[in-house]
Amino acid sequence: MTIDVSWLRDHLREVTDFPRAGIAFKDITPLLADPAAFRTVVNTMAGAWVDASVDRVVGIEARGFLLAAPVAYCLGVGLVPVRKPGKLPWEVAEQAYVLEYGEDAVQVHTDAVGAGDRVLVIDDVLATGGTMGATCALLEGMGATVVGVHVLLELGFLGGRATLEERDVRSLLVEA
């Protein structure tokens, strides 16, 4: 049974020219503040993977943490933060990726996932797919299996899904 979650769109706020000119920023704070909307997002994400034998839920800095944490709790598995360089205090593995202008990287603690772990990766928005692709490559490089990727909002016109190739990519909302 597929539940209609299109009403969640009304709980997202678009902020133009943030954080810089030309960006239409999708602000999820109204959704987080609404108990029914927040509960629906968490239950829908967790419910999609309840039979997938997930060992860890990975959240991408920073808004991904806010969704990944309750999903991990619901699934009864551990939470792993993937962060921008310089934020994690212990030994890290890193994956660099190319941005429109320049480079960025994601890091994870080397003991956060291991060979054979089945991981679910969560973020708020899938845009170009650069961050998600680097996160998946980082985890797979450590021997984990990415069972799936789940985002609240997919900006379909940016083509992120195609960059994630054969991985199982789900989104609650799609902006075509």
Q: Which residues are catalytic?
A: 63, 100
Concatenate the DSSP letters of all residues of 79-127 into one string.
EEEEB-TT---S-EEEEEEE-SSSEEEEEEETTSS-TT-EEEEEEEEES
> Which region, judged by CB under 6 A, interacts with ligand AMP, from 33-41, 78-86, 122-130, 135-143?
122-130
Instruction: Based on the shown chain and the rule CB under 6 A, indicate whether residue 152 belongs to the binding site for ligand AMP.
Output: no
Structure tokens at 120: 């679910």
Write out the binding residues for ligand AMP, residues 30-69 only, by CB under 6 A: 60, 63
Return the residue of 44, 95, 107, 131 that touches ligand AMP, per CB under 6 A: 131
Which of 31, 58, 122, 127 contacts ligand AMP by CB under 6 A? 127
Smallest distance from ligand AMP to CB 72, Å: 18
Q: Which of 7, 25, 50, 165 binds ligand AMP (CB under 6 A)?
A: 25
* 94 within 8 A of 105, measured Cβ to Cβ: yes
Q: Tell me how far, at minimum, the Cβ of 95 lies from ligand AMP, in Å.
A: 12
Q: Which of 59, 70, 130, 148 binds ligand AMP (CB under 6 A)?
A: 130
Residue 154 touching ligand AMP (CB under 6 A)? no
Q: By C-alpha distance, which of 25, 21, 19, 1 is closest to 175?
A: 25
Q: Reduced to 3 states, what is the DSSP secondary structure of residue 73?
A: helix
Angle 106-63-30 (CA atoms, 0-180°, nearest 5)?
Answer: 165
Tokens of residue 73, six digits = 């709790």
- Write each residue from 73 to 112 as x if it is in contact with ligand AMP (CB under 6 A), else as -, in one continuous string: ----------------------------------------
d(CA 136, CA 145) in angstroms, rounded, equals 9
* Interface region with ligand AMP, contact rule CB under 6 A, candidates 44-52, 69-77, 118-126, 142-150: 118-126
Interatomic CA distance for residues 83 and 123, integer angstroms: 12
Q: Which residues bind ligand AMP (CB under 6 A)?
A: 23-26, 60, 63, 123-132, 160
